Structure 1
Amino acid sequence: MHRPDLDVIPLIARLKEAGESFCVATVVRTEHATSAKAGAKAVVLQDGTIKGFMGGSCVQRSIRETAATVLGEGKPRLIRVKPKDEVVSAVDVDGTELHKSSCPSGGTVDIFVEPMRPAPRLVVCGASPVAIAVADLGRRLGYRIVAAALADDLAAFADEDQKVTGFDLTAIGVEADDFVVVATQGRRDREALAAALDTPACYVAFVGSRRKAEVLKAQLAELGLAAARIARLKAPAGLDIHGIEPEEIALSILAEIVARRRAAVTQDVTDVVEDTPRSCCG
């Protein structure tokens, strides 16, 4: 007998290879009569389309609503769909999020909805030794690397990296989940900083001394860049681990990026980042 849920596995592989965002919904427990049984899987696309069998329309509506939230937050959820006359609160006695079902079967189903989003991008501006080290370490940590540098410098980056000639970042569509590190170190610093700060990236950092960063921020203000955008700049980049070599500075920057990325899941990390002295990386 053909099982639709088995078709989900190759679909997941194709979507991940294409860099698509989606959710995987898995039935983990059922009670009484239900259409889908424990172990059933489905893929929920960004537009709410469900690929795979998860039961009737009542369950599907709850899955779509949860998947939209999960994709936005980037955090998985366990939900329980129960007959509506048994739901008296938003959370069950064991802490599981409750959803109402009008299905006449009267069954209960627990569904784990997990986000599958492509790795965030790390945009590295410049081809300095620190820039190369940041790209190399970021790549090994699973980030998608975009290298923006002058034409003659792009060969210094790995072939698998996406490459941008110059510092115009509009074409790559930097998003709020992306990270940008400006490590030009004297080669069109101001141009690269202006482009980086004009993106919605959640993290924009500059590799250079605090004094140099202040001079550049003043110049950007004179050129008309909004104060709110300039205030987003993290300078100097990285945590203070007393790094000297390019690889050590890159480590401090990636450590800060990882901390900020995980802060949405573990709030305590935010406190660590805010309380840690900033590095002075040159």
Structure 2
Amino acid sequence: MRDILDHLRSWGEPFALATVVGTWQSAPRPAGAAMAVSASGEVVGSVSGGCVEAAVYEACLEVLSGARPHVATYGVSDDDAFAVGLTCGGTIEVFVRLGDPAEVATVAEAVDERQPAAVATVVGAADVELVGRSLVVVDAALRHGTGRPGLDDGLVTLAGGLLAHGRNGTVHVGTNGERRMEEVTVFVESYAPPPRMIIFGAIDFAAALAHLGSYVGYHVTVCDARPVFTTRRRFPDVDELVVAWPHEYLRTVAVDERTVLCVLTHDPKFDVPLIVEALRTPAAYIGVMGSRRSTDERAARLAEHGVTQAQLARLSSPTGLDLGGSTPEETALSIMAEIVAHRSGGTGRPLSELSGPIHRTRVAVPG
């Protein structure tokens, strides 16, 4: 729902919300993808990239007309697969319910303020009155509940577990929120702040990489000690520009397991102290630009500063995949491709050489 929040909070009329809550095989959109239909018929968002939108639109109109919230399944196994099946051969489950303007406003405000938020929606239960109810958690505090205190307490904890990893997923609990029971099925949508990408070195390659980083959803910072290069004119799209010695700035920043650090400075007096500091963080990815020769020389300098071989193994150096490009834009694409592959568990090999699912599912459900 994140992609359509701005539209939803601008609507001054009732709307139905359809959310992907389950996918199998090569489904085109991930769990959490959403489409909304207003009472006047306006549509925003997508649940399948076009394959089943017409059928989901009709389901939304039915809910707007008084039908109960429900899960609809679309895929090649349906009797009417030719009419509304997924052309890619996958299957999706879509939960359709009436939208809640108060819920949307709370989530949108949290996103604006970069506060972690989660929405937990009951998508299945023996008690049909529960189906469609939801709660909102912002920064670990319950903001809107289902009306069942016991259930709310259990879901706040479970939603927090998924939110900590920035992931969506389905959990099962008892009617009073008990763990290890399956009376109630709940879909949790996480609205974690965007992961951070910090680029060190205000060079042309950094400008191209910053643009790609913003495009794929990172909160991008460019840091360099040289104010003449670290200007908004050269980096119009980044979220933050910082003029400081890179290693000193890194000490002041909250780096977590989703943070990406890209060292493009090309200067030992910047690189070495910065990399030593970066290796002390839990960053998901530490990429360092350089030739084979400069990479070897840098490794020797880092060893003199006490960096072990095990620590050096954390570095992606030289950074990027072998795409054969050389321009700043092509190099940035190479680096971003490696970051995406690292984040998603991809191989970096051509899909034509592989078998199995194209889209990977990365959902961790706390136990």
Is TM (by shorter chain) over 0.5? yes
Q: Say which of 331, 339, 358 aligns to 1:249.
A: 331
Q: Distance in 2 between matches of 1:218 and 1:275?
A: 34
For residue 217 of structure 1, report the CA deviation from its aligned partner.
1.5
Residue-by-residue CA offset, 1:3-41 (whole Å, 9 max, x unaligned): 9x542211100100111112111122332365xx33322
Q: Say which of 260, 267, 271 aligns to 1:189.
A: 271
Q: Say which of 147, 157, 171 aligns to 2:252.
A: 171
Q: Say which of 99, 120, 128 aligns to 2:203.
A: 128
Using the TM superposition, name which of 193-202 and 137-146 deviates more: 193-202
What secondary structure is seen at the aligned counterpart in 2 of 1:154? coil
Q: Distance in 2 between matches of 1:83 and 1:26?
A: 13
**Kept after mapping to 1: 8 A contact 2:136/2:145:** no
Q: Distance in 2 between matches of 1:154 and 1:140?
A: 20
For residue 114 of structure 1, report the CA deviation from its aligned partner.
1.6
**Kept after mapping to 1: 8 A contact 2:110/2:138:** no
For residue 142 of structure 1, report the CA deviation from its aligned partner.
1.9
Higher helix share: 1
The verdict on how the C-alpha distance between 1:274 and 1:196 changes in structure 2, with shifts beyond 3 A counting, is farther
Provide the alpha-carbon RMSD of the alignment. 2.9
**Kept after mapping to 2: 8 A contact 1:131/1:184:** no
Q: Distance in 2 between matches of 1:174 and 1:83?
A: 38
Q: Distance in 1 between matches of 2:348 and 2:300?
A: 26
Q: Which residue of 2 aligns with 1:23?
A: 118
For residue 154 of structure 1, report the CA deviation from its aligned partner.
0.8
Uncovered stretches (5+) of structure 2, i.e. residues with no partner: 1-97, 352-367
Q: Distance in 1 between matches of 2:165 and 2:196?
A: 17
Q: Distance in 1 between matches of 2:240 and 2:276?
A: 21
Q: Which amino acid aligns with 1:136?
A: H
What secondary structure is seen at the aligned counterpart in 2 of 1:145? strand
**Kept after mapping to 1: 8 A contact 2:122/2:186:** yes
Percent of paired sites with the same residue: 32
Uncovered stretches (5+) of structure 1, i.e. residues with no partner: 91-97, 100-107, 264-268, 277-282
The residue correspondences of 1:81-92 to structure 2 (distance < 5 A) are 81-82=173-174, 90=180
What secondary structure is seen at the aligned counterpart in 2 of 1:43? strand
Q: Which residue of 2 aligns with 1:213?
A: 295
For residue 226 of structure 1, report the CA deviation from its aligned partner.
4.6
Residue-by-residue CA offset, 1:213-266 (whole Å, 9 max, x unaligned): 121121012123354433311111111111111110100111111122223xxx
Q: Distance in 1 between matches of 2:167 and 2:115?
A: 16
Q: Say which of 239, 249, 263 aligns to 1:161.
A: 239
Q: Distance in 2 between matches of 1:136 and 1:275?
A: 24
The verdict on how the C-alpha distance between 1:38 and 1:14 changes in structure 2, with shifts beyond 3 A counting, is same
Q: Which amino acid aligns with 1:178?
A: T
The residue correspondences of 1:1-282 to structure 2 (distance < 5 A) are 6-32=101-127, 34=129, 37-47=130-140, 49-82=141-174, 90=180, 98-99=181-182, 108-150=183-225, 151-155=227-231, 156-158=234-236, 160-165=238-243, 166-167=245-246, 168=248, 169-186=250-267, 188-263=270-345, 269=346, 272-273=347-348
Larger relative contact order (Cα-Cα within 8 Å, sequence gap ≥ 6): 1
Q: Which residue of 1 aligns with 2:49?
A: none
Q: Which amino acid aligns with 2:259?
A: D
Residue-by-residue CA offset, 1:95-133 (whole Å, 9 max, x unaligned): xxx35xxxxxxxx53321122111111110101221121
Q: Which amino acid aligns with 2:208?
A: A
Tell me how many residue pairs correspond in the alignment. Answer: 246
Q: Distance in 2 between matches of 1:182 and 1:74?
A: 25
Q: Distance in 1 between matches of 2:208 and 2:238?
A: 15
**Kept after mapping to 2: 8 A contact 1:22/1:44:** yes
**Kept after mapping to 1: 8 A contact 2:272/2:298:** yes
For residue 206 of structure 1, report the CA deviation from its aligned partner.
0.9
**Kept after mapping to 1: 8 A contact 2:264/2:288:** yes
Q: Which amino acid aligns with 1:182?
A: V
Residue-by-residue CA offset, 1:147-177 (whole Å, 9 max, x unaligned): 1112222113226421222202112222221
Q: Which amino acid aligns with 1:241?
A: L
Q: Which amino acid aligns with 1:243?
A: G
